[in-house]
Structure 1
């Protein structure tokens, strides 16, 4: 999947996004607001430690819609489970969040999905 340079710039500017995933059990669309992060030159979705329905939906159905203010992008999610990759990515994301708590809890218990454009 590729997106235009204009869409890429829009994604770089907009941290709060909405995503529509396909429910893993219901197969129905599920739309939520979340934050996207930039680390290692790529875009990511994550959240504080804990389980998330959106993450389970992306694991089951990787294709989803990323909603920006002025456009919708068809993207694919790549769940990240490799401990070394998780440590690298969270090592960039978590220190910038003054509310995040400790890095180790994020590595151990937070969902992490790369947004493949």
Structure 2
């Protein structure tokens, strides 16, 4: 089984994940807990509308560490800014969240990042 296959299996089992990004200004590691979502057969990071440091860090430094059930994987974040793609992905995620505000508010103000698993990725 490849590292990518193992990462996908871990992501299937684990919605709450920790990520370590590199600070956009400090260049220091920043570790936080967040949720991953599945839509269109791919994995995403997002959150309720608002500014997020983790998002700004991924925009500045797309490579980050995804911490999954005892594994640390180097992955890449792809910020999603296309209105059409944001609408499709958030349109699949937001209706599944009982606590979420309107889809329109998420489209207007929520960060959205695709987790790109590196097929050659190795644990840190």
TM-score tier by shorter-chain length is over 0.9
Q: Partner residue of 1:5?
A: 5
Q: Partner residue of 1:44?
A: 44
Where 1:54 maps in the other structure, the secondary structure is: helix
Q: Partner residue of 1:103?
A: 103
Matches for 1:80-95 after TM superposition, within 5 Å? 80-95=80-95
Gaps of 5+ in 1: none
TM-score by length of 2: 0.91
Gaps of 5+ in 2: 118-124
TM-score by length of 1: 0.96
Q: Post-superposition shift, 1:90? A: 0.4
Matches for 1:51-70 after TM superposition, within 5 Å? 51-70=51-70
Q: Partner residue of 2:113?
A: 113
Runs of 4+ in 1 over 6 A off after TM superposition: none
Aligned-pair RMSD on alpha carbons?
1.0
Distance (whole Å) between structure 2 residues aligned to residue 113 and residue 7 of structure 1: 17
Distance (whole Å) between structure 1 residues aligned to residue 4 and residue 90 of structure 2: 27
Q: Partner residue of 2:28?
A: 28
